[in-house]
Structure 1
């Protein structure tokens, strides 16, 4: 919870955390009337989570079970945690004998099977027994139910459909159908091999993702979240629209560590949204800014979230190269979001926060700047050739050592246990999503649906790239609605990315295209999860907030096309051409922001908005003549606005209607 009151003339930027926010702390210390059985259950859950966290760290350092056994054990333990903490009815405590108890017992049985059936089960590939088929069915049904409890009905229904499609595919016409498969073949594909439930998403979740979530939990315990908030306000608070700019910066920094837009919005929104409202932004705009910043953090290196690690596995490109490729588009995205905020502040006549109410930047760097060192360690280690898993392990060690520097950040034994537990428990929805995505991806690969969809999309687009991009954009947004980024990306990478590569789009560009739209489906109506969360915090209309999120985050919907049509964003070509291409792309996005907001240095006239729209279209493509014409349209408008910028009568005033944006 965040405090936003002013004390002694300064804005209080302290984020208050619950003293006991983990099961082990609550079970041992919380005197709130819990029964002994409830405390015992929470304590056992904590012990399971902490034990798994220790194993994950050990696995990163020295290895562990063979591949199938490691992934099966990992998934089974997370099923146990899922059914221990998520009830069959949302908002209820788990405890129903039939609907909670039976899945929990079956999950424990699956864990025992994963321990004791290997390596014999691997030798039965292609000749699965009836017992194997029963175990596979139980695992698949439990994963789908776990997805329903943690993610929602949409993805659970999708996973169930794709599983059923293995058997009912012959009923579908044309390229959507297939010859059909036996139950034994399904058991092999989805359970006995590492191509289904235990495929790349679970591998990434059980190695890299879980390690970075533990790392994020330790970072937050040592005060890095507080540092990011203070750093953002010290850096941008004085600028026109400073609180909103600080929200973008702090939420983006935190989201790149947590890798979860919705979770980050829930954490930082209660702090940043009231500050934005207090200086004059409407509640709709405030909620939209926080949603865009939190969701957009997933495209910002160095961590970016689980989907980026999965992308590295799918494409065969080292993760550090994936992160390096993502850096420039991420900088462009957050720059343009900042420009939109500045234009909005200019239109409303808002000012920044007085410097005497903000933290001193250099003093903050001296006192807390060392907290950023673990992120630098991750980048350096991956650049020199360490795997993300090994880099995360060393960064985790650095976090622990840095926590010893000052008394206020020093970790007690209980804090270490709590951070280990929190890292694991925060991963339950994501791991369920990865397992569900494995069912979908395995079914798509087994039935050949991915290739069929690619052929269908190419034929429907007439073999033309732009119509195909539009088709895949719509499919990406629809499939991404209501689902975590990693689930959306796995489905889209399996089904849609191949269609783009067929028309000559480079593999990494094709995967980034669906990756971005999978992310930004989180702020796209009608199922804009992150926007709905921030709307609840801001007290604004959810649908209106999600619509305005599109305006604030419009760069996220243009950048994928720019990656396809503007190779200079991939740093291809000579140095002068790359610099020119990046500059014109940024100016094109700025022109589009001016068109959307109806304001740059002052309010724009109708003819200026039309010219800005034309300039934006001309500047985002990589053609010299279109760039020159676009610059010829943009520069006169900028000069005209610069000369008239000091006319206060042309600036708007803050509207009383908080819904008016």
Structure 2
């Protein structure tokens, strides 16, 4: 198939990503491209100053410490609410500044900030005997957080947080195991506000320390041009292979998503570039949008950063983050291998070729001129392996970005760029901060009412104590609860409610948490509410529902991997070296066989019998049993050899016919 690509004057494929200019309030206030005067320009300065001030505060706190735990988290949450109501209007498309719905919540958030600063330590002494004023302040914070969640995340999570808060009081109305004896308003105030078990629990702790630093780090990395480097590197590495542009999209989007930690945001960032390019080389718009959605969402399972939920997992399980990243590496590589296989088989089926070498950037030149940009990522891994906390590792990596940016003019950061990156990092964190605060309300309610234990008993009884039915039930719950929610929110809810049920059935703690973590992530590409797929569909101009179905098809490995983690201990690095290596090999082969079954192609299109054999081999290779594995391997090799010989025979006959003519 002939590819019609947009080329630069020197004959290379045009890989230049459009850069947003003056996209932060501090830049717009200083450069004033719109000619704003008076209050509007002053307002930009104020919002930028608050965001930059919060960034400086969290960086200082990471380096030197500061306020006690409750006070620090309450101050951080209050400033997050201030920025939320200053930056997100009460209704999308409406101008900011409505007296009742924008200004009043903003003023109340400022009041909460002053309360957080001045109330401590006296408020800690009132635990168990909260005053009426404490109860009013607690209620105010709960409802402001719920409104902040509605503005930044959406109605689904806001309604869920409101329900769980109300469940504290209306629990006695529920029948059987789902009910509880009920709690007073004072107990609610203690659990959700005065202690660090509710709003100010692990999710907001992670958001106010580790996560915020990594989001600031990501903003600095993007300012130095690492996004452009990842795209050029991906195309130089994979562009010549069949389906090269789509494979490059997977690689570049996956690399960026592991830094940004947000599938939807990453799709918005890279999709406008990768999707049109995939369409140019012959992929239909629905497939192109699906590839971008899957690779952007899947980047959250790829170490070293993995997004906010992985840091929360470290707090929940007590397992060091670097160990969690190590456990996640093999499944992440498997996932992207299978996505690549789906793309490759699709390209063979459609007869698509790669991009000519002369139109691609030179890999050696890219690595020599821009390769230094990945040093901060390597530094993060090295420091955490050496035992440095993720917070300190992120801080050192951030410093290295600033130093390395000075090496070349293209990446150099001036004072305005530094301030803009600080502002961007904080603003990018606002939805996640609201999600973590909302998740704190839900988690606090679940712990207070004992709903987690009740759900575990209910699920075990319903499944008859059998593991597979339990896994299916929790998978469905993960997908439903994950719809319309960021990963961290879905994970916190499910880890609190459902992971314990798996642990009671002797599933290892880390595997149980990964199970809910993965399904929380891939709910973002699962119909009918597939946020990331809907974003890429809008970019590609494709049907949103069809795009989400295609995304499901491309990313099917994400729905098989959690089960493989449970039934194949080798993927969790358990067992002898041989068991681990053989287990990884059979898992990879089984997933690739399933990809070939889905796409209906290996070296060429398969017939019905070949397709069924691929499905059977994939199923046999999922289970870690030597006999089923050997049969599955033999079937896959048989299909490959048969197609290879059939292809050679066809080519030979065609050659003889051409000679005779």
Quote the residue 1:111 is aligned against.
113
Quote the residue 2:659 is aligned against.
none
Which string of whole-angstrom CA distances, capped at 9 and with x for unpartnered residues, describes residues 560-602 of structure 1?
0000000011111111121111101100001100110000111
Measured after TM superposition, the shift of residue 512 of structure 1 is 0.1
Unaligned 5+ runs, structure 2: 653-661
Quote the residue 2:657 is aligned against.
none
CA contact 1:472–1:496 (8 Å) conserved in 2: yes
Measured after TM superposition, the shift of residue 189 of structure 1 is 0.2
Secondary structure at the aligned position of 2:339 is classed as: helix
Quote the residue 1:286 is aligned against.
288
1:471 partnered with 2:473: yes
Quote the residue 1:617 is aligned against.
619
Measured after TM superposition, the shift of residue 32 of structure 1 is 1.3
Secondary structure at the aligned position of 1:209 is classed as: helix
For the aligned residues, what is the CA RMSD? 1.2
- Equivalence map 1:335-354=2 (5 Å): 335-354=337-356
Which string of whole-angstrom CA distances, capped at 9 and with x for unpartnered residues, describes residues 148-174 of structure 1?
000000000000000000000000001
Secondary structure at the aligned position of 1:498 is classed as: helix
User: Structure 1 CA distance, aligned partners of 2:45 and 2:499?
Assistant: 44
Quote the residue 1:424 is aligned against.
426
Measured after TM superposition, the shift of residue 33 of structure 1 is 4.0
Quote the residue 2:383 is aligned against.
381
Measured after TM superposition, the shift of residue 635 of structure 1 is 1.3
User: Structure 1 CA distance, aligned partners of 2:358 and 2:548?
Assistant: 35
- Equivalence map 1:98-137=2 (5 Å): 98-137=100-139
User: Structure 1 CA distance, aligned partners of 2:319 and 2:649?
Assistant: 53
User: Structure 1 CA distance, aligned partners of 2:467 and 2:647?
Assistant: 42
User: Structure 2 CA distance, aligned partners of 1:363 and 1:84?
Assistant: 45
User: Structure 2 CA distance, aligned partners of 1:642 and 1:526?
Assistant: 40
Quote the residue 1:271 is aligned against.
273
Which string of whole-angstrom CA distances, capped at 9 and with x for unpartnered residues, describes residues 428-487 of structure 1?
000000000000000000000011011111111111000000000000000000000000
User: Structure 2 CA distance, aligned partners of 1:119 and 1:144?
Assistant: 26
Measured after TM superposition, the shift of residue 6 of structure 1 is 4.3
User: Structure 1 CA distance, aligned partners of 2:490 and 2:43?
Assistant: 34
Quote the residue 1:70 is aligned against.
72
* 2:520 aligns with one of 518, 521, 540: 518
Measured after TM superposition, the shift of residue 632 of structure 1 is 2.3
Q: Out of 634-643 and 602-611, give the one that drifted further.
A: 634-643
Quote the residue 1:634 is aligned against.
636
CA contact 1:143–1:432 (8 Å) conserved in 2: yes
Measured after TM superposition, the shift of residue 648 of structure 1 is 8.3
Measured after TM superposition, the shift of residue 649 of structure 1 is 9.3
Quote the residue 1:26 is aligned against.
28
Measured after TM superposition, the shift of residue 250 of structure 1 is 0.1
- Equivalence map 1:120-519=2 (5 Å): 120-519=122-521
Quote the residue 1:659 is aligned against.
none
* 1:43 aligns with one of 42, 45, 52: 45
Secondary structure at the aligned position of 1:7 is classed as: coil
Structure 2 length-normalised TM? 0.97
User: Structure 1 CA distance, aligned partners of 2:515 and 2:149?
Assistant: 26
How many residues matched? 648
Q: Out of 516-525 and 23-32, give the one that drifted further.
A: 23-32
Which string of whole-angstrom CA distances, capped at 9 and with x for unpartnered residues, describes residues 235-285 of structure 1?
000000000000000000000000000000000001000110000001010
User: Structure 2 CA distance, aligned partners of 1:589 and 1:408?
Assistant: 42
CA contact 1:69–1:114 (8 Å) conserved in 2: yes
Which string of whole-angstrom CA distances, capped at 9 and with x for unpartnered residues, describes residues 32-82 of structure 1?
143421111111000000011011111111001100000000000010000
Measured after TM superposition, the shift of residue 190 of structure 1 is 0.2
Measured after TM superposition, the shift of residue 338 of structure 1 is 0.3
User: Structure 2 CA distance, aligned partners of 1:44 and 1:649?
Assistant: 71
Structure 1 length-normalised TM? 0.97
User: Structure 2 CA distance, aligned partners of 1:4 and 1:150?
Assistant: 37
Cα distance change of structure 1 residues 408 and 648 upon mapping to structure 2, 3 Å threshold: farther
- Equivalence map 1:574-585=2 (5 Å): 574-585=576-587
Quote the residue 2:656 is aligned against.
none
User: Structure 2 CA distance, aligned partners of 1:646 and 1:536?
Assistant: 43
Secondary structure at the aligned position of 1:302 is classed as: coil
User: Structure 2 CA distance, aligned partners of 1:4 and 1:135?
Assistant: 58
CA contact 1:333–1:555 (8 Å) conserved in 2: yes
User: Structure 2 CA distance, aligned partners of 1:648 and 1:130?
Assistant: 85
User: Structure 1 CA distance, aligned partners of 2:650 and 2:13?
Assistant: 28
Cα distance change of structure 1 residues 649 and 89 upon mapping to structure 2, 3 Å threshold: farther
CA contact 1:86–1:93 (8 Å) conserved in 2: no
User: Structure 2 CA distance, aligned partners of 1:594 and 1:211?
Assistant: 41
Secondary structure at the aligned position of 1:320 is classed as: helix
User: Structure 2 CA distance, aligned partners of 1:19 and 1:4?
Assistant: 23
Measured after TM superposition, the shift of residue 644 of structure 1 is 2.8
Measured after TM superposition, the shift of residue 7 of structure 1 is 3.5
Runs of 4+ in structure 1 off by over 2 angstroms are 3-8, 644-650
Which string of whole-angstrom CA distances, capped at 9 and with x for unpartnered residues, describes residues 399-440 of structure 1?
000001011111100000000000000000000000000000
Measured after TM superposition, the shift of residue 10 of structure 1 is 1.2
